[in-house]
Structure 1
Amino acid sequence: MRALIFPLIGLFLQGCTPSQQSMVDTFSTSLRGAPDVIVTDEEIQALPYATMYLRLNEGQRIFVVLGYRKNGLNKWLTQDHAMIVTDHGRLAKTVGLHSNLLEVTHLASDPLKNTAQLQNGLQWQRDIRWTEDGELRSARLTSTFTSAGKRTLLIAGLPVETQLWRETVRSVSPKCEWQNTFWIENTTGLVRQSQQMTGAGVLPAEMTLLKPAP
């Protein structure tokens, strides 16, 4: 699949058709200078691509389009060539940021790969490596999942019925504990919204899947 790159304050498509370019020009005009990118429901529905809102480390919320899908991994690209990789809604890797998630092990056994089988008390262990202010760090994490009931989200103008799951994550070294949160759509099992950490208790990431891949 050809790479599709959306800027932080405007949207740009390589190889646009005239109609697509017109849409991009409209987006660029309406979004320029906004502290948080806001795309209208109609514009989101009109795009034939998977899209999401993304906020990293409490920074500006941006709008990104799925660039590649390979081996079950979704790769989202930004104008400055940063790449965000997700696996069934889990943040799996980042490239080109000031601080990056380098590796998450045991992704094949991540409970998010089969959300229909999620149950209270389910555990998952993995190792992660990341950089923080230029320093290489690593940790072994143990997660425990807990159901927090039903929630209705409004995403791109459409109600989405979800099950809310909290993932309590513990690290021995560095010693810390935090919660990741996942809103899982009832009908598809997709993670439609999440709040999770890039490193061990640091570098928060918020993602909202606006339009899933067809």
Structure 2
Amino acid sequence: MLEITNLTYRSEGFELNATFRVERGERLALMGQSGAGKSTLISLIAGFLSPNAGEIWFDSTNLTQCDPSKRPISILFQDSNLFPHLTLRENLGLALSPRLALNAAMEAQISAALAQVGLRGFEGRRPASLSGGQQSRAAIARILLQNRPILLMDEPFAALDPALRREMAELICSLCRDLGLTLILASHDFTDAERMCDRVMLLSEGQITEDCPIAGLRAAPPAGLVPWL
């Protein structure tokens, strides 16, 4: 379980306040206009920003002051964060050994992860030689190797065409189910949220204004979510 308690963050006139919990294996969508606080909340959970007050807990561990690299969290951003000068083998290898001291078992793990996302045999390819969808798949393979229970996603498929967005959403859903991952997705697209998540939380000017199951929202949406449907 991930628990956010009285979390407060202030910066240049903006203030975020949040209290909520996400059960293990749950998939939560964060929605709201640009500047509402979605990416700020993702960054606080990841440890890239430090809160002014409040706490972040995972099970019995207080993550509030924990270094980002020590948190039980993987992150998928829109640009996939692949190093252009490294091969996929090396990009994925960083998840297993920061110095790329890869042994035979690690090499096998990398090949297996690439195969799992449909990139069998791509170990020697560099990101520039891949399509946008293939780069997203490679970033997902790296998440598999990190083997962490919480996955944060910040508009990860915004640059992809609709067919690829659907394909990537289906792949993420499959991995979350198979691995029991807890997912928090920041998105402007309700269709993406609907495909990947079972709960939606609306942020407005740094405040949580709606928090409800996603099933059935198109038929009977709360007023705050109407613009997003």
- TM-score w.r.t. length of structure 2: 0.30
- TM-score w.r.t. length of structure 1: 0.32
More helix by share: 2
Flag the structure with more relative contact order, 1 or 2, with Cα contacts below 8 A and sequence separation at least 6.
2
